[in-house]
A and B are shown apart, each in its own frame.
Chain A
Amino acid sequence: MSAPAPGPATARLPHPDHSRPDHGHPDRPHPDHPHPDHSHPDHSRPDHGHRADQADALVLDGVRAVRGGRTVWAEGTLRVPAGAIVGVIGPNGAGKTTLFQLVLGLLPPAEGWIEVLGGPPRRGDRRIGYVPQNYRSALSDAIRARDLVTLGLTGTRFGLRRTSAADRKRVDDALRRVGATAFADERMSRLSGGQQQRVAIAQAIVDDAELLLLDEPLANLDLRHQQEVVALLGELRRERRVTIMVVAHDLNPLLPVLTDAVYLLDGHPHHDPIDAVVNEQLLTHLYGTRVRVVRTPQGDLFTRGG
């Protein structure tokens, strides 16, 4: 591994939650933390140059992302622990999708070092499941939900071969897992937004991905469908110990399952446990408009504008 010389590890990480990603209430990351850990109000970057170990799904060290000759963000240094559900947040154009492109190996970093699941990013890494933004608008009338999920397994194979019984079973399992069996044989264009999103997630997990990248999976979904997708993410993480990164504009629907957040602030990506991010000062700075954080009597966190 040609990683840069590891810098001194600080005592900052791992967060208690990260050392035991599968603790008793995976859908509620910090039920016993009524007072979030605000001991790092300066939001200084976590471990510099920390070598990746088994516990890290994603490591960035001094990464600068350049697209079309423009620096989208720079000095990206962070570690995302395996088994986390990470909200990727930031204002429009901050480079959330760009981060995914780097992780997918579609865009090389202009500077710095990236490690995904213990190795450099590689296009076509079968351990990564990806659901792009605006997934629905890209779909034509021509494909059934089942066939789309099957492509997640066989879509890279050249030559004509029948889909094997084992592959068909994996497709059935993935469809069942996301609750899409009832409409598996329908055309994608005829499904509702929530149904399409579930099929897309089935395609992302059909090859037993270890890292799921979901770009705005809740966009254009009504409240009920948002909650269904969020619940599904919590269940997937619990069952498969998969790491999930979710780009989202609105944190609220995801707060019940998020363990961490990567936030793009002032041209730099940062990583923190979710409780450190759900912070009025930080969110207000992040979105450039006043954001308040409210905790309900049941202990649920909400953010709201104004």
Chain B
Amino acid sequence: MTPTAVLAAPRVEFQSNWLQVLQTGFMQHAFLGGTLVAVAAGLMGWFVVTRQNAFAAHALAHIGFPGATGAILLGLPVTLGLAVFCVGGGLLIGLFGSRGAEREVATGTVLAAATGLGVLFASLAAANASATTNVLFGNLLAVSTGQLAVFGAFTAVVVLALAVLARPLVFASVDPAVAEARGVPVRALGVAFVVLLALTITMAVQVVGTLLLFALVVTPAAAALRLTARPAVVAVLSVAFALASVWLGLVAAAVIDLPPSFFIVGLATLIWAVSLAVTRERYRAGRPGDHPAAAPLPLVPAGTS
């Protein structure tokens, strides 16, 4: 199995030598790269969901598409093109401000324009069609040593930044009006967040591709949030779900010769579906504490009687 063979394989095929496949250099690259991406994506996911930025995350991946195809066209590293366009696009979306409906429209328009540009660059670089497919659908098996170094640096930046920003960023994400009054630099944190998101997406696009990015950046965190709202537990579960999807997805791709992107996305979706199923009862149940016992305050203000 080689990177290109994965995309070319037309039929489902059990590989009896899957243990050897797992030990190959490109598989080890894939595991290392996938692990780095899963850690960053799992941690960022909570903020993406809580800040209701899922659409922006999706859009950033598409904005990265012309960056990647443009880089292919010019013979530059894909990671560079992705990073430049994702960070630039993120800052642009940030400039549109926080007005919900306006931001959605602006984001969607930029998304479409970027995808159009991506198609143009891709067709100009037609000689390298499989590289374009890799951008759209991801190919973890093609991760190079150079990309690994970049992934390592990006993940380190994301993890360290989140460790420093954690509390104020949570405050600004769940309760922006009070956070601002309390002196939290809400707008600056928003810009910092979008840059971190762009770095994460730059990596994630190379694992699952522009079109499937949601599965790594949003789905594991969403599943974790269904199960618990304890911040530390959500972070651990979210990273664990992302890691499980990537690792098991790679093993599955070794056993059955199909693209790992498919298995990674499939597993992430499965985990999410299970989290929905097991919490169904709880979400359907009435509000807790709505019974009188939970309202110890006097019903009538003192002094009115």
| Chain A residues within CB distance 8 Å of chain B | 25, 27-28, 31, 104, 106, 123-126, 128, 130-132, 135, 138-144, 147-148, 151-152, 154-160, 179, 182-183, 186-187, 190-192, 194-195, 203, 224, 227-228, 230-232, 234-235, 256-257, 298, 300
The stretch that binds A, out of B121-129, B141-149, B165-173, B203-211, is: B165-173
Which residues of B sit under 8 angstroms from A195, Cβ to Cβ? 287, 289, 294
Other-chain contact of A28, B230, B299, B303 (Cβ < 8 Å): B303
Interface of chain A, main secondary structure? loop
The answer to whether A142 and B178 have CB atoms under 8 Å apart is no
Per the bound structure, the CA–CA distance linking A125 and B178 in Å amounts to: 12
Q: Across the A-B interface, give the 9 residue pairs with the lowest CB-CB distance, nearest first.
A: A124-B183, A155-B171, A27-B303, A183-B289, A182-B294, A132-B177, A231-B301, A28-B303, A142-B50
The answer to whether A106 and B297 have CB atoms under 8 Å apart is no
- Contact of B22 with A by CB under 8 A: no
Shortest distance from the beta carbon of A276 to any chain B beta carbon, whole Å: 20
Q: A142-B174, A144-B229, A187-B229 are in contact. List 7 more A-B contacts (CB 8 A).
A: A27-B302, A28-B304, A124-B181, A140-B174, A142-B50, A143-B174, A182-B296
The answer to whether A183 and B294 have CB atoms under 8 Å apart is yes
The answer to whether A160 and B174 have CB atoms under 8 Å apart is no
Shortest distance from the beta carbon of A59 to any chain B beta carbon, whole Å: 20
Known A124-B182, A160-B166: A179·B297 in contact at CB below 8 Å: yes
Other-chain contact of A123, B163, B183, B289 (Cβ < 8 Å): B183
Known A155-B167, A228-B297: A191·B287 in contact at CB below 8 Å: yes
Per the bound structure, the CA–CA distance linking A135 and B49 in Å amounts to: 19
Per the bound structure, the CA–CA distance linking A25 and B52 in Å amounts to: 47
The 12 listed contacts between A and B (C-beta, < 8 Å) are: A27-B301, A28-B303, A124-B183, A139-B174, A144-B230, A155-B175, A158-B167, A160-B166, A186-B288, A228-B299, A231-B298, A298-B304
Which residues of B sit under 8 angstroms from A142, Cβ to Cβ? 46, 49-50, 174, 225, 229, 234
Which residues of B sit under 8 angstroms from A256, Cβ to Cβ? 301, 303-304
- Contact of B300 with A by CB under 8 A: yes
Which residues of A sit under 8 angstroms from B13, Cβ to Cβ? none
Which residues of B sit under 8 angstroms from A159, Cβ to Cβ? 163-164, 166
Known A27-B302, A130-B181: A231·B297 in contact at CB below 8 Å: yes
The answer to whether A156 and B167 have CB atoms under 8 Å apart is yes
Give the tally of cross-chain contacts (CB within 8 A).
147
Q: Which A-chain residue is minimally distant from B162 (CB atoms)?
A: A160
Per the bound structure, the CA–CA distance linking A190 and B294 in Å amounts to: 14
Per the bound structure, the CA–CA distance linking A157 and B168 in Å amounts to: 6
The answer to whether B176 and A147 have CB atoms under 8 Å apart is no
Per the bound structure, the CA–CA distance linking A141 and B173 in Å amounts to: 12
- Contact of B95 with A by CB under 8 A: no
Per the bound structure, the CA–CA distance linking A256 and B195 in Å amounts to: 51
The answer to whether B181 and A148 have CB atoms under 8 Å apart is no
Other-chain contact of B290, A130, A140, A192, A203 (Cβ < 8 Å): A192
The answer to whether B303 and A156 have CB atoms under 8 Å apart is no
Per the bound structure, the CA–CA distance linking A124 and B296 in Å amounts to: 32
Known A123-B183, A192-B287: A141·B163 in contact at CB below 8 Å: no
Per the bound structure, the CA–CA distance linking A193 and B181 in Å amounts to: 22
Other-chain contact of B300, A138, A139, A156, A227 (Cβ < 8 Å): A227
Which residues of A sit under 8 angstroms from B225, Cβ to Cβ? 141-142
The answer to whether B167 and A157 have CB atoms under 8 Å apart is yes
Other-chain contact of A148, B174, B302, B303 (Cβ < 8 Å): B174
Which residues of B sit under 8 angstroms from A158, Cβ to Cβ? 164-165, 167-168
The answer to whether A203 and B178 have CB atoms under 8 Å apart is yes
The answer to whether A182 and B289 have CB atoms under 8 Å apart is yes
Q: Which A-chain residue is minimally distant from B293 (CB atoms)?
A: A182
Mask of B275-305 contacts with A, CB within 8 angstroms, 1/0: 0000000000001111001111111111111
Per the bound structure, the CA–CA distance linking A147 and B166 in Å amounts to: 13
Shortest distance from the beta carbon of B238 to any chain A beta carbon, whole Å: 11
Which residues of A sit under 8 angstroms from B290, Cβ to Cβ? 192
Shortest distance from the beta carbon of A105 to any chain B beta carbon, whole Å: 8
Per the bound structure, the CA–CA distance linking A104 and B178 in Å amounts to: 10
Per the bound structure, the CA–CA distance linking A231 and B304 in Å amounts to: 10
Which residues of B sit under 8 angstroms from A224, Cβ to Cβ? 299
Name the residue among B171, B225, B231 with the largest chain A CB count within 10 angstroms.
B171
Per the bound structure, the CA–CA distance linking A179 and B299 in Å amounts to: 12
- Contact of B184 with A by CB under 8 A: yes
Other-chain contact of A155, B184, B298, B300 (Cβ < 8 Å): B184
Per the bound structure, the CA–CA distance linking A203 and B297 in Å amounts to: 18
Mask of B174-197 contacts with A, CB within 8 angstroms, 1/0: 111111111110000000000000
Which residues of B sit under 8 angstroms from A155, Cβ to Cβ? 167-168, 170-171, 175, 179, 182, 184
Shortest distance from the beta carbon of A154 to any chain B beta carbon, whole Å: 6
Shortest distance from the beta carbon of B179 to any chain A beta carbon, whole Å: 6
The answer to whether B297 and A232 have CB atoms under 8 Å apart is yes
Shortest distance from the beta carbon of A184 to any chain B beta carbon, whole Å: 9
Q: Which B-chain residue is minimally distant from A100 (CB atoms)?
A: B181
